[in-house]
Structure 1
Amino acid sequence: MINRILKTIDKWDMIKPGDTVIVGLSGGADSVFLLHLLNSVKAQLNINIVSAHVNHGVRGEFALNDQIFSEKLSKKMNIPFYTIDVDMNGYAKEHGISSEEAGRILRYDFFRKIGKEYSNYKIAVAHNRDDQVETILMRIMRGTGLDGLAGIPYTRDEIIRPILDISRVDIEYYLNSNGIEYVDDHTNFETDYMRNKIRLKLIPEIEKTYNPKFKTAIISLVDIVREESDYLNIESISVYNKIVNVVDGNIYIDIEPFSKLHIAIKRRVIRIALEQIVSTLEGNSYEQIEDVVSLSEKQTGKRIDNIKGVSVIIEYDKMVLKNNTVENKKSIDKTLEMGINNVYANNSVIIMEIVDKISKTNNKTAYFDCDKLSGNIFVRNRKNGDRIVPTGMTGSKKIKDFFIDEKIPQSQRDEIMVFCDEEKIIWLGGLRQSELTKVDNDTKKILKIEILEDYDE
């Protein structure tokens, strides 16, 4: 079993030596199994383990017992333990989302808050092979595309799923064979929830009546779809970069080359374009994308306005996706030079100079290793899809997710200056630098960038 988890960790490059792994510990079989196995290999991988438990405030005494069990288990294993009580249903009501989504947001918010106490961290969650099968069936029933059939990812940003290849039967056998205790969530056996119905009724019936190896067949499907979806995404991004121009936050698609594309690539190009503006599509994304594809065949002047934040208009040989959210945005796009740089859009000055050492330190001043920079330095507004490798992390993170984690108000996000070289983002002005360009003991030449706001000459 240990070799299986090590193989998964290695294949998906989940953990680096020196990482702190925050294990989401519910007290159930899956998370207890994950905690034990990671603890067994921590010396071999040269990692630190901590556990984190969230009491969602919905199961009363049962939830409290899970919390107490998780704390005792962690203490017994000499693993640092963190816990928090949250009001999942209250959060869901306040934000107009499902309780399931609220729980997910609150859990990861807590895990990431813990992560800030450590220089490099990963969040390990205990999704297993059966969870993968159930998720695919749920998506099919609700309606999904190729990306949905690609299933739960092994990694996403700092989140890792080391036991995604291991079945629930194997997990429980391992725990019971080794006398390892865990708690049962009685709600897992209630058929009021869609996932429980799939697990307790649908899958057993399919295995009994149609295919005893049904789960294996689904996992094979997921593996194939994931690889083919990755390929289509790469091809679609390449096409997108050739036929799309972005001007003042609006996206212009050349209709002639677009019309010659295969429908599968057309849909993905439109999805990429829409997500550059709105990040996440609301409602029936398939119908929205189909509407835009169909519009590309209409004459000039035709338009659709059924996508929140976007108007799509045919203008002669272009299809224009107009960003309705940027009308009041102060546009910043400037190549910086050594010395004083005026940024008139937000009445600020940026001073860039070479220095011998780090002296002044505040959130408006940043220092960079010149040998780690590529070409010119630019400052601009954020773009959807932007990513940074924040200091203290090894993996990249979407700027959108970074802003959410740091609780930056939506109204302020477009005001934050994004500093880049010709390859990557190096600094979110006033917030966080990139790990890739930080000054260290081997630095020979230091670039200092300072922001002076509300500057009056």
Structure 2
Amino acid sequence: MLSSFLKHIQTHFSFFEDAKLLIACSGGVDSVVLTYLLKELNYTIALAHCNFSLRGNESNEDAKFVESLAKKLNLPFHSETFDTKLFARKHKLSTQMAARELRYNWFNELLDTHAYTHVLTGHHADDDLETFFINLSRGTGLRGLTGIPVQNEGVVRPLLPYPRTAILEYAKKMEFFWREDSSNIKTDYLRNKLRLEVLPKFKEVSEKTLQNFQKTQQHLQGSQQLVEDYMALIYNLVVTEIPEGYSINVSKISELPNTNALLYELLNPFGFTSWNDIFSLLTAQTGKEVKSVSHRLLKNRNELLLTKIDENTGEKQFFIKKNEEIISNPIFLRFSPTEKIGNIENTTVFVDMEKLTYPLTLRKWQQGDVFQPFGMKGKKKLSKFFKDEKLSLVAKQNVWLLCSQDKIVWVVNHRLDERFKVTPKTKQLLKITSRE
């Protein structure tokens, strides 16, 4: 296996020669074999072990084993212990997702702190097959069937072409020691159930099941690349980047064949799952929306607006004390007493300080809000002002109001209120700007 692995590395990972590699070592046979192979080939490596505190003393023994392995091979060693269940409860994640987030956040810290160039994991061909069936059982598009990427975001998986049997055979031949994870024999998790009960029977159909799967996956990856190339053309045709996010032209995308498939490819990276609701937005009235955990898709006339969900939306108010010069949350504002009026722009206004009542408040606009636009004698509803300004629904929802008691001082970045303007009688001027 060593000579085969060397050819594999030289062909696909020639950059390892000058790299500083961090191996994610659980103590299992896969990561142990990966460690020995790279050590034997004289690459610059270090070991990192995560103790997720999920199996009591067994987890602690795994950590000790990896530490002893690092000492035996004279390798740098990093270890971290996590309270995974607490993290999962706090962030409302499954135990597996919590472990994944903790693991990769820590790996990224190690990359930054110790100048490692890549993180290496021991994923192999059987892991890839299991992932294929997991995604298939949950419902997925073409991308979900292309398997575990060989390399993405600094993570490299050199053992991906090798089956578990080959890795285990090599470990036994070389008389390596490794740790067995007792949780791997439990069928509580879908992956274990597939590994222990489903895939062995699937492999009985043909001795070349794994090889045939790898060929199929290569074809799927090629097809996915064609889709991505095509979607790059579609993106330029129907998507416009706007300050709030992205705008998808409904007319243009509706004229193209396979419209729903195009929407799926455009929006899948943003965590959406309610696809029928998304497809119906094409013919929905303005104001209809669909949300994912992180994003919102909003129908606005002849466009679909894709924006990040603003955690500061709602009834929340932010208070500003009299002597505060700068605030940075939820938006940036600078307050500077001055003696004269300078250039007035959308991002800068000058007000009569004596007309302000502190604390000032910063909030989102609400239906029924009115103000007196600078230069006008009468009041105007904000909704009418926004319509006259031709603001989109998303732009309106991103507007902040600087208020003094129940009066709007400034529709931030849009218009000052006439009641707070500077007059010849003004004694104290205050400059307010939203530019950093």
TM over 0.5: yes
Q: Please state how far the C-alpha of 1:7 moved relative to its aligned partner.
A: 4.1
**Corresponding position of 1:224:** 219
Q: How many residue pairs get matched?
A: 327
Partner SS for 2:179: coil
CA distance in 1 between counterparts of 2:92 and 2:261 reads 29
1:168 aligns with 2:158: no
Partner SS for 1:144: coil
Residue by residue over 1:162-218, the C-alpha shift from the partner in whole angstroms, topping out at 9 and shown as x without a partner, is 00111111001111111111111122122222212211111112223x333322232
Q: Is the 8 A contact 2:27 2:179 kept in 1?
A: yes
Letter in 1 for 2:4: R
**Corresponding position of 1:255:** 250
Identity %: 25
Give the alignment of 1:401-440 within 5 angstroms: none
Change (3 A) 1:83 1:183: same
Find 2:288's aligned residue among 285, 303, 308: 303
1:267 aligns with 2:253: no
Letter in 2 for 1:272: L
Change (3 A) 1:299 1:137: closer
CA distance in 2 between counterparts of 1:108 and 1:456 reads 35
TM-score by structure 1 length? 0.64
Q: Is the 8 A contact 1:251 1:273 kept in 2?
A: no
Q: Please state how far the C-alpha of 1:136 moved relative to its aligned partner.
A: 0.9
**Corresponding position of 2:66:** 70
Query: RMSD in angstroms over aligned alpha carbons?
Result: 3.2
CA distance in 2 between counterparts of 1:89 and 1:456 reads 43
Q: Is the 8 A contact 2:130 2:195 kept in 1?
A: yes
Q: Is the 8 A contact 2:263 2:279 kept in 1?
A: no
Partner SS for 2:87: helix
CA distance in 1 between counterparts of 2:55 and 2:231 reads 45
**Corresponding position of 1:243:** 238
Find 1:312's aligned residue among 276, 286, 298: 298
**Corresponding position of 1:15:** 15
**Corresponding position of 2:271:** 281
**Corresponding position of 1:88:** 84
Q: Is the 8 A contact 2:110 2:116 kept in 1?
A: no
Comparing 27-36 with 215-224, greater Cα deviation is found at 215-224
CA distance in 1 between counterparts of 2:198 and 2:73 reads 38
Change (3 A) 1:106 1:170: same
Which blocks of at least 5 consecutive residues in structure 2 are unaligned? 314-329, 333-344, 350-397, 399-432
Letter in 2 for 1:33: V
Residue by residue over 1:264-320, the C-alpha shift from the partner in whole angstroms, topping out at 9 and shown as x without a partner, is x75345543575xxxx415xx2x33x4333332x265373334454242151x4344
Change (3 A) 1:33 1:273: same
1:38 aligns with 2:33: no
Q: Is the 8 A contact 2:22 2:116 kept in 1?
A: no
Q: Is the 8 A contact 1:154 1:164 kept in 2?
A: yes
CA distance in 1 between counterparts of 2:234 and 2:266 reads 11
Q: Is the 8 A contact 2:107 2:119 kept in 1?
A: yes
Change (3 A) 1:455 1:88: closer
Letter in 1 for 2:29: A
**Corresponding position of 2:24:** 24
Q: Is the 8 A contact 1:127 1:161 kept in 2?
A: yes
Find 1:140's aligned residue among 133, 136, 139: 136
Find 1:206's aligned residue among 202, 205, 215: 202
CA distance in 1 between counterparts of 2:233 and 2:182 reads 49
CA distance in 2 between counterparts of 1:346 and 1:205 reads 70
Give the alignment of 1:105-184 within 5 angstroms: 105-184=101-180
Which blocks of at least 5 consecutive residues in structure 1 are unaligned? 332-342, 348-413, 415-453
Find 2:228's aligned residue among 225, 233, 239: 233
Change (3 A) 1:274 1:183: closer
Q: Please state how far the C-alpha of 1:324 moved relative to its aligned partner.
A: 5.2
CA distance in 2 between counterparts of 1:234 and 1:152 reads 20
CA distance in 2 between counterparts of 1:130 and 1:272 reads 30
Q: Is the 8 A contact 2:24 2:48 kept in 1?
A: yes
Letter in 1 for 2:80: I
TM-score by structure 2 length? 0.67
Q: Please state how far the C-alpha of 1:29 moved relative to its aligned partner.
A: 0.3
Change (3 A) 1:62 1:7: same
CA distance in 1 between counterparts of 2:88 and 2:220 reads 33
Q: Is the 8 A contact 2:39 2:45 kept in 1?
A: yes
CA distance in 2 between counterparts of 1:307 and 1:158 reads 27
Q: Please state how far the C-alpha of 1:219 moved relative to its aligned partner.
A: 2.1
Larger Rg: 2
